[in-house]
Amino acid sequence: MDEVDQSILAVLERHGRISNNELAAQVGLSPSPCLRRVRQLEESGVIRGYRAVIDPAAVGRALRVFAGVRLMRHTRPEVVAFEREVMKLPEVIACHHITGNFDYLLQVGVADLSAYEDFHANELAALPGVGTVNSFVIMKTLEGT
């Protein structure tokens, strides 16, 4: 990957819907070579996809919470069962297997604190192998690229 590829990636990270002509102009290429490079980055898996960034409040998920989950046991079957079941929950935006005080850090999106309380008590705590859950309500998010 050369500097031109890195420039293409930097522009696409900020503006994923930019036209090929605009992208080419920004990175100093003509449109055809630019499109070839983008396609190669896609085919090689460097670019894994494009997505829309949704306003959480507009879809009833205004409250974001990080939930640190500690499992009771770490046997392979229990870990697999937890991972399978947690990703079935529509409130779970992302599930990260981490090191440190927790085994998993979940990003959860719900309507409000009452909805999170219900989710925590009736869904999250009921998952296979869950020992403890520590919740961190997100007050503000500062986003980079």
Higher pLDDT, 111 or 55: 111
**Domain that residue 128 falls in:** 56-137
In the chain, how many H helices and how many E strands? 5, 4
Domain count, the chain: 2
Considering the domain architecture, whether residues 100 and 32 belong to the same structural domain is answered as: no
The proportion of the chain whose per-residue pLDDT surpasses 90, expressed as a percent, equals: 91
Would you say residue 48 lies in a domain?
no
Considering the domain architecture, whether residues 67 and 120 belong to the same structural domain is answered as: yes
Quick one: pLDDT at residue 52? 86
Summarised one tens digit per residue, pLDDT across range 47-81 is 999 988 888 889 999 999 999 999 999 999 999 99
Report CA torsion sign: 17, 21, 27, 29: positive
Quick one: pLDDT at residue 53? 83
State the CATH number of the domain containing residue 37: 1.10.10.10
Q: What distance in Å separates the CA atoms of residue 32 and residue 10, rounded to the nearest whole number?
A: 19
